[in-house]
Structure formats: C-alpha cells, structure tokens
Amino acid sequence: MHKFIPYVFKSLWRHRARTLLTVSGTAVALLVFCFIGGVQQGMLALTAGEDAGRTLIVFQENRFCPQSSRLPQDYESTIAKLPGVQAVAPIKVFTNNCRASLDAVVFQGIEPEKMKAWRDVNLESGNWNSFASQDDAALIGVDLAARRNLSVGDKFTIGDVSVLVQGVFRSTSAAENSLIYTHLDFLQRARGANDVGTVTQLEVHLTDSADPDAIAKQIDQEFRNGPVGTTTRTKGMFQADTLADLAELIGFVHWLGYACVGLVLSLVATTTVMSVQDRIKEHAVLQTLGLRPLLVLGLVLTESLLLSTLGGILGVAGSVLLLSSAGMSIAAEGVTIAFEPSLTLAIQGVLVAVVVGILAGLAPGWHASRTEIVSALRHA
C-alpha cells in the first residue's frame, strides 16, 4: 500500500483548487470545534477539581452581583472558630460590568498574607514586597495585562478605582489570569464610599476531614438571625450558580461543535465522491493491471483521510495558537471563564479529523472498488 502513496498525492494535486478548498474548509470547522471545546473546558475548570469542592464561599443571601453583597467583615472571626475550618479570607470584589462581557475587569481585594497563602500565583515581573507595602498597589494577571497593554509601574483606572501595577502574575488557574488583586482595605475605601468593615464574600478553607455541606449549613444557621443573612456554597457550586445563564448558552453552543464535525464529514465526503467520479476509468485500469478491489478501497480511504487529517491538524494548530496567545475570557457577576487550550483538546480535535476522514471515504471507496471493469472503461 505504501508504494501507492505518491499516486494518492498526485491525484490530490491534480485538482489542487478543490483540494485546497477542502483542506481550508476542514481547518476552519475544526478551529471552531476546538475553540468551543476550549470554552467548555474553561467552564469545567471552575466547577471541578479539589479546590472547587473543598472551599466554601459565603455570600449575602439573595444577592447576585458583587456590588450588591455586603457582609460584615467580623463574620470572619465567628466562622474561623467553627470545627473543620482551617482559615477564612474576607474578599472585596469590584467589577466594571456585572453582565456577561468579554472584557470585564474584576478586582479582588484581599489581605496580602492570605493571598500569598491561598493563591497559587507566580510573579513574572514586579516585586511582592512592593505590592505588600503599598496601599494602592495591584497584581495583574498576565491575560489582562496583555489585553490592556499593562506592565509594572503603570497606573490603571476603572471607574472610581485607580491602582499602580506592582506585579504581573501567572496562576495555575487560567481564570485567575484575568483578575486584579489589590489590598482589601484599599478597595473598601477606593470607590468614594467608606465600605470599611464590609466585604463582598468570605472564602472559607476547610480541613481535609471536614464535611463541606454540613459546615455550609452551620454557617447559614449561625447568621440566620444576624444583621445580614448568608448563603454558603462550595466554590464550584457558587461559580456554577453564578454562571448558570451563561452555562446554558455554552451548552447550546456545544451543538455548534457537533455541527462543525458534520460539516467536515459532508465536505470531505463530497470532495472524495467527486474525485472518485473523475477517475472511474482510472480505477478500472488499475484493477485491470491487477489491483484488488480492497486495495482500491484503501486508496480512496487514504485520500479522504489525508484531506481530513491535514485540515484537522491546521485547524487544531490554529485554535491552540489563538487560545494561548489571545488570553480570551468571559466574565459575569465577577466570575471569569478562561478560554484555555490543552493537549487533550488538541488530541481530541485530531482524532475527530481522522475518524471523519475514514467515515467520509467509506461509501465512495466501496463504490469505486465494486465498479465493473467493462462498464467503467466505457465511461466517457
């Protein structure tokens, strides 16, 4: 079979315009398929994993947008005394847009020592001590820094909040690469109103043996008759509930990914059928020279597979390049979904292209292998 590979390439190059159009169409469809997969992967990263199930978020009852949640900061000391609680981090959140946005800016005000303990971030530039010692200092995620063209020493202003960039960080969590971390007390005073003593949410870190559901109920029961009621959920559930409407949209877009696979199948199959019809006499001559029908089927399948796989590789490479370089994300109500590439997603895209290539070539290849030699040679 391998000695017929040059023949397959010559057959494809014989109709180079058709081949290039098929490969480019396949590449675009697979790029969209992998891009959608990157969005779904970003959503899954927020709701899965050990941190999503072992960390609790305490929010004001019946509130959604961060601007509307105002919890007393002294709830921290009460929660910290509960059995199974390892640490509590009060957080003030400010965002320029609570609705779904591709360019939302989300500030998280947190005490520096607690950020260092509970955030897995690495500074790519800047200095931690400069951030920790300066009230209006900020650490900015690499994706946001790239989108806004920010670097250490720049002044950045959104609405009533103005900060000095003292570091650019990269986090193991892709969603955090679009955040801005500031001092808690600074963000409490930054917007013209004195919010000292109130926070948006409390992040509760549990011991390994603690029961998250039981502690969540205990926290809500503790403050049921307090000045402000609370709703406590695991971090994964909190983010899933916050992004519920957006998750439904992403779930619908999932079907667009399947439509892209169907488009590739249709496109490659159509091109392969046209190629077989153009070479009916040629295949008959090959069988006359001794090629078995099974080998003719193999030649057609190889041609279809090459078209689909080449387009798939180009599409996957394009999607990985786009997702990794653009640092795209979408945020809603202060929670960010990062569009992130991965090796698993790339392998999945290539495998889809290979399977589609085989399926697209089966019917035309079977037809070519079953053609009667005499009638094929008479074909004009």
Span 177-193, average pLDDT: 86
pLDDT at 193: 60
Question: For residue range 306-319, what is the model confidence (pLDDT) as tens digits?
Answer: 889 999 999 999 99
Is residue 14 scored above 80 in pLDDT? no
Span 315-341, average pLDDT: 83
Is residue 4 scored above 90 in pLDDT? no
3-state SS, residue 48: coil
Tokens of 32: 């969209």
pLDDT at 316: 94
pLDDT at 232: 95
| 140 φ/ψ angles, rounded to the nearest 5 degrees | -115, 135
Span 139-154, average pLDDT: 92
Is residue 169 scored above 90 in pLDDT? yes
| 83 φ/ψ angles, rounded to the nearest 5 degrees | -60, 135
Cα atoms found within 13 Å of the Cα of residue 208, Cβ hemisphere only = 0
Write the DSSP symbol of residue 108: E
Is residue 380 scored above 50 in pLDDT? no
Question: What is the rounded CA–CA span in Å between residue 191 and residue 162?
Answer: 9
Tokens of 80: 């910290």
Question: What is the rounded CA–CA span in Å between residue 267 and residue 371?
Answer: 23
Lowest mean pLDDT among 47-51, 127-131, 163-167, 227-231: 47-51
Is residue 178 scored above 50 in pLDDT? yes
pLDDT at 36: 87
pLDDT at 27: 94
Question: What is the rounded CA–CA span in Å between residue 147 and residue 170?
Answer: 14
pLDDT at 212: 93
Lowest mean pLDDT among 257-266, 305-314, 332-341, 343-352: 332-341
Contact 269, 358 (CB under 8 A): no
Span 161-178, average pLDDT: 91
As a whole-number percent, the residues of the chain with pLDDT over 70 amount to 88
pLDDT at 379: 53
Question: What is the rounded CA–CA span in Å between residue 40 and residue 323?
Answer: 13
For residue 214, CA distances in Å to 170, 209, 219, 232, 235 come to 34, 12, 9, 10, 15
Is residue 78 scored above 90 in pLDDT? yes
Contact 100, 39 (CB under 8 A): no
Neighbours of 131 (CB within 10 A): 23
Span 166-190, average pLDDT: 91
